[in-house]
Structure 1
Amino acid sequence: MAFTDASLTALRVFREVAERGTLTAAAAALGYTQSAVSRQIASLERAAGTPLLERRHDGVRLTSAGHIVVRRAATVIDQVDATARELAGLPDEHGTVRLGWFASAGAGLLPRALAALCRTHPAITVITREGSTPALVRALRAGTLDLALLASAPPFRPPDTETPALELQTLTERSLLLAVPATHPLARGDFADVADLHGQRWIAGPGEDRVLGVWPGLDERPDVAHTARDWLAKLHLVAAGCGITTVPAALARAVPAGVRVLPVRGGPQEQRRILLARLPQPLPEPAVRLAAALRAAAIETDTLV
């Protein structure tokens, strides 16, 4: 079988697997059974004459041939979809930009940038979606996102080790902050000392995100009283006096009443970056405009915090 015999369905399935990172997640997203996804991948690998995926205990990883196929598949699928829209008399999507973002970016930076872009370039349509850093990076590689806002913590390693390396631009770099109830003893000062964080009750993330919400580097086992994935839920638990949590500077102006946000002194500086990531290739003009709006919004929010 020659690769020219590869079906469009198999290419769509392969791109979904590349983006989701597992056959199970791709099957759920597509509404297929896992065995149907496996058959499509197998047919594509037969056509390519080489493995496209490396099966691992934690999911799948693209081989070097897989990277070539997913890059080309994105182009083919986008062109076929554009043709279908044109034949149906629908407007083309040349003015559409696909942007991914991490959770706390949605509280300030993202809406500020989108509002500014709407005022200056109303013809540009931006489609966004929230996701974890690994998911957003996979989506960039699969060609289903044009740009992604990523969060980065020390030692600020690249978000993945694939080639070509993603092009990364630092939009902001700010210190991690602490959110405490307004009635908490720590709220009486203008800052918290890292020594004062011992013995506190923490509100953290669930599962693998459990450390999110606990001050990094504490030399004790943290007392995690509550777990919540959503930042707003964490902050409302803080307001209710249920514990304390860390908060990125991007959320400092979005905390609910009853919460005091403080810098922490003592110990290593806990810096956090917001990165704008993309593949190292020319961007279409709408994406260039959105990137500029995100940079401007980042500068503006820096001056407000």
Structure 2
Amino acid sequence: MVVFDLRRLRLLRELEERGTLGAVAATLGYSPSAVSQQLSVLEREVGTALLEKAGRGVRLTDAGHLLARHARVLLAAAEAAATDLAALGEEVRGTVRAGGLQSATRRLLVPAAARTTADHPLVRLEVSELELEQALPGLRTGTVDLVISDEYDGHPRPRPAGLRFAPLHEERLELVLPAAHPLAQHGGPVPLAALHGEAWATSAEGTGHHAMVVGTCRALGGYEPDVRHRAGDAEIQLELVRTTGAVALLPALALPVADATLAVRDVAEAVVGRRLVAVTRDVPATPALTAFLAAVEAQVHRLDERAGAPRS
């Protein structure tokens, strides 16, 4: 009878999800040769080939795919057992690996991590800046526990099976102009149509933010925006507004509390918004993850109170 090593099964499951030994190694902190060696040991234990050559890499054989499917079940059962055992203890302990887009990481995850560390010192927290697309493989295999993602009005994200998407926060998107811009000289909303011909700063092409800016300018302004600058870092976009005269459309969480060099204005034609969602695996949460999610939600409430009634 084969006695399965869960660590090796996890490597096989990660390879099925990520596709290359290098990606598995980078995710789990091993060298590619160490991953290969452990999978070779697994092959010897089960007595059949699990991998085959594919160009300069490897791929799973039919037996490899079969065992990877069983590995999903075994790893989920082991995780459920660990969750149940942790729930029996008087103190909350365990590891939570959380990630999120930049503004959510800075404004939600970092403060929540500080609060959780103070309240539950036996919880180990690992926080990373991650987009949902980067985190999906880790969410599926259990190497990531929580991701704060976003979706913009008119641009809903897919809902992959096996994941839970819980609404967390709604906020308005604001036009950001240089303080000296003629349209910023009054405090009221600015028509998007009036920004035809302006240089825009957005996130990289292919991101939800870039698609939202282009789609909003087309739908509400009737033009194709002149996107000259692209940066995933909102601070860089804001600096481009300050120094080059570009304009941007950014969520409230990405904006500074006060900056005399910038003018923040509502879009005149319609409310444009985004939602933040907490993405987890669709399994019972560990006590540590439950505690951290509570801290994240408390931080959302604090931000809403600071800003007054939520604008949606």
Partner in structure 2 of residue 97 of structure 1: 96
What stretches of structure 2 of length at least 5 have no aligned partner? 82-91, 308-312
Q: Deviations over 1:95-126 (max 9, x none)?
A: 32111212221231222322332333333221
Q: Hey, what's the Cα distance between the residues in 2 that align with 1:95 and 1:63?
A: 30
CA contact (8 A) 2:101 2:148 kept: yes
The percentage of counterpart residues that share the same residue type is: 27
Q: Hey, what's the Cα distance between the residues in 2 that align with 1:259 and 1:212?
A: 24
Amino acid at match of 1:216: G
CA change 1:225–1:155 in 2 (3 A) is closer
CA contact (8 A) 1:97 1:124 kept: yes
Q: Hey, what's the Cα distance between the residues in 1 that align with 2:153 and 2:281?
A: 22
Partner in structure 1 of residue 273 of structure 2: 271
What stretches of structure 1 of length at least 5 have no aligned partner? 80-92
The within-5 A match list for 1:170-189 is: 170-189=167-186
What SS does the aligned partner of 2:256 have? helix
CA change 1:117–1:253 in 2 (3 A) is farther
Question: 1:255: Cα distance to partner?
Answer: 7.0
State whether structure 2 residue 113 is matched by structure 1 residue 114: yes
Partner in structure 2 of residue 239 of structure 1: 242
Partner in structure 2 of residue 139 of structure 1: 138
* C-alpha RMSD of matched pairs (Å): 4.1
Partner in structure 1 of residue 74 of structure 2: 72
CA contact (8 A) 2:179 2:262 kept: yes
Partner in structure 1 of residue 89 of structure 2: none
What SS does the aligned partner of 1:293 have? helix
Question: TM-score by structure 1 length?
Answer: 0.73
Q: Hey, what's the Cα distance between the residues in 2 that align with 1:160 and 1:51?
A: 30
CA contact (8 A) 1:50 1:65 kept: no
Q: Hey, what's the Cα distance between the residues in 1 that align with 2:302 and 2:127?
A: 21
CA contact (8 A) 1:147 1:277 kept: yes
1:205 to 189, 203, 206: 203
CA change 1:70–1:232 in 2 (3 A) is farther
Amino acid at match of 1:277: V
What SS does the aligned partner of 2:117 have? helix
Question: 1:40: Cα distance to partner?
Answer: 4.6
What SS does the aligned partner of 2:97 have? strand
Partner in structure 2 of residue 285 of structure 1: 287
State whether structure 2 residue 232 is matched by structure 1 residue 229: yes
Partner in structure 1 of residue 194 of structure 2: 196
Q: Hey, what's the Cα distance between the residues in 2 that align with 1:271 and 1:51?
A: 47
CA contact (8 A) 1:175 1:272 kept: yes
Q: Hey, what's the Cα distance between the residues in 2 that align with 1:51 and 1:156?
A: 40
Question: 1:275: Cα distance to partner?
Answer: 0.8
Amino acid at match of 1:167: R
Partner in structure 2 of residue 251 of structure 1: 254
Q: Hey, what's the Cα distance between the residues in 1 that align with 2:79 and 2:292?
A: 23
Question: 1:127: Cα distance to partner?
Answer: 1.0
Q: Hey, what's the Cα distance between the residues in 2 that align with 1:109 and 1:25?
A: 28
Amino acid at match of 1:289: A
Q: Deviations over 1:169-195 (max 9, x none)?
A: 211112222222222223223322121
Question: 1:197: Cα distance to partner?
Answer: 2.5
CA change 1:77–1:122 in 2 (3 A) is closer
Amino acid at match of 1:249: A
Question: 1:14: Cα distance to partner?
Answer: 3.1
Amino acid at match of 2:183: L
Question: 1:304: Cα distance to partner?
Answer: 2.5
CA contact (8 A) 2:175 2:249 kept: yes
Q: Hey, what's the Cα distance between the residues in 2 that align with 1:289 and 1:9?
A: 27
What SS does the aligned partner of 1:253 have? coil
Question: 1:148: Cα distance to partner?
Answer: 1.8
Question: TM-score by structure 2 length?
Answer: 0.72
CA contact (8 A) 2:93 2:122 kept: no
Question: 1:23: Cα distance to partner?
Answer: 5.8
Range that drifts further, 291-300 or 98-107: 98-107
What SS does the aligned partner of 2:240 have? helix
CA change 1:212–1:122 in 2 (3 A) is farther
